[in-house]
Homo-oligomer: A and B are copies of this chain.
Amino acid sequence: MAGNSFGALFRFTSWGESHGPAIGCVVDGVPPRLALTEADIQPYLDQRRPGQSRYTTQRREPDQVEILSGTFEGQTTGTPVSLLIRNTDQRSKDYGDIKDKFRPGHADFTYQAKYGIRDYRGGGRSSARETAVRVAAGAVARKVLGSGITIRGALVEMGGIAVDRDAWDWAECGRNDFFCPDAGAAARWADYLDGLRKTGDSCGAIIEVVAEGVPVGLGDPLYDKLDADLAKAMMSINAVKAVEIGDGFETARLTGSQNADEMRMASGRPSFLGNRAGGILGGIANGEPVVVRFAVKPTSSILTPRLSVTRDGEDTEVVTKGRHDPCVGIRAVPVGEAMMAVVLADHLLRHRGQCGG
């Protein structure tokens, strides 16, 4: 209710601040007898981990996950899985200068206004550091989904430069610093970011996440539609300002005859000749790949001075020092994948509960 949990049957509750001793979450509702050890979770955390290229924050966090409960002899027991990640590289002194100034575009101001108090060190609870927890929960969710469902994400646009969809190669995502499926775009982004970093500025990005193998029937009408839950999940990620399913905003510019994905029988089952719907009709998965895209705004912590006010109500200017991602969108790729996994795992259990099977 206070906003730190996600999901209904598969549900995780997140806690922790950027500069506290640790962050973590409790994942409840994990079915029993799934193989689960730290080794199932760590690779996803490693993908998101900061400090791996010159394009992400230079904060060094090993992000080693510990499972504190919910497994026995390498298997889940049906009881809550508590995950813990220690914070090791918090240079709190870097952040002292923003103790009393609100960064424009940042949650500093709204947290202060809502709660009358805030942990200003590194953004406290509103720090993107919290997304490590989402990635850990997502890794558990993937175990629930099993090997039949594949979830992959990619950065598809940065600084106004989009990938060439004809050049799309999922394998390429693992070869560059951007989770970019198009080697050409990755090269252009590298140049663009190098330029930005010199000016101390930042940029936004668009991420696409695709789930294949999603069973027909997942999702609940009307208010817990699969796409509604995905929209909430993605919009809840730090700095996200927009979400679309399938062809999204583009569908508003089409006619009904252009937009509707026609159907034919194929291999003995109904299938679709297109996927403008992004795999979801009426809030329920139709068997095609589930496709979500979301926009990440530019990092608001930048070196360029911006007009602001102090906590005491004085006009001021603010410059954010410290170590920040020039494009938080890059590390949002594994986060988006994780949230897709969590939403699907939750709906898988919900569907099984109400409809069996």
Say whether, besides A11-B1, A295-B252, A204 and B259 are in contact (CB < 8 Å): yes
Q: Is the CB of B196 within 8 A of A255?
A: yes
Instruction: Of the listed stretches A41-49, A51-59, A99-107, name the one at the interface; the rest are far from the partner chain.
Output: A99-107
Report whether A231 and B221 are in contact in the complex, using a CB–CB cutoff of 8 Å: no
Say whether A29 contacts B11, CB under 8 Å: no
Segment touching B, from A113-121, A146-154, A171-179, A182-190? A113-121
Pick from B14, B32, B196, B245: contact of A115, CB below 8 A.
B32
Chain B residues near A276 (CB-CB < 8 A): 297
Least CB separation from A6: chain B residue: B223
Once the chains bind, are A270 and B309 in contact (CB under 8 Å)?
Answer: yes
Determine whether A2 belongs to the interface, using a CB cutoff of 8 Å to chain B.
yes
Report Cα–Cα, A349/B6, bound state, in Å. 20
Check if A166 is an interface residue, CB within 8 A of chain B.
Answer: no
How many residues of chain A are within 8 Å of chain B by beta carbon? 156
A227 to B235, CA, bound (A): 7
- Interface flag for A60 (CB, 8 Å): no
Task: Select which of B17, B33, B205, B315 is within 8 A of A264 by beta carbon.
Answer: B315
Taking CB atoms, residues of chain B closer than 8 Å to A229 are 232
A295 to chain B, nearest CB (A): 4
- Provide the bound-state CA to CA distance between A276 and B300, in Å: 12
Q: How many copies does the complex hold?
A: 4
Residue A39, interface by CB 8 Å: no
CB-contact partner of A223 in B14, B205, B252, B307, under 8 A: B14
Which residues of the other chain, B, contact A298 by a CB distance below 8 angstroms?
Answer: 251, 254-256, 258-260
Cβ A125 vs Cβ B79 within 8 A: yes
A259 neighbours in B (Cβ, 8 Å): 105, 204, 297-298, 300
- Which residues from chain B contact A104 at a C-beta distance below 8 Å? 260-263, 272
* A278: B residues at CB distance < 8 A: 241
Contact A8 B15 (CB under 8 A): no
A207-232 at interface with B (beta carbon < 8 Å): 216-217, 219-225, 227-232
Q: Which residue of B lies closest to A75 (CB)?
A: B117
Cα distance A234–B118 when bound, in Å?
A: 31
Question: A76-95, CB under 8 A of B: which get 1 and which 0?
Answer: 11111110000000000000
Shortest Cβ distance from A104 into B: residue: B260
A13 interface contact, C-beta 8 A: yes
Q: Compute how far the CA of A30 lies from the CA of B356 in the bound complex, rounded to whole angstroms.
A: 12
- A81: B residues at CB distance < 8 A: 15
- The answer, among B13, B33, B126, for a CB contact under 8 Å with A116, is B33
Tell whether, in the assembled complex, residue A78 and residue B252 are in contact, meaning their CB atoms are under 8 Å apart.
Answer: no
Taking a contact as CB atoms under 8 Å apart, the answer to whether A29 and B1 are in contact is yes
What are 12 sample pairs from A and B whose C-beta atoms fall under 8 A apart?
Answer: A4-B222, A8-B8, A9-B353, A14-B80, A29-B354, A77-B117, A78-B354, A126-B222, A203-B256, A251-B298, A259-B300, A263-B309
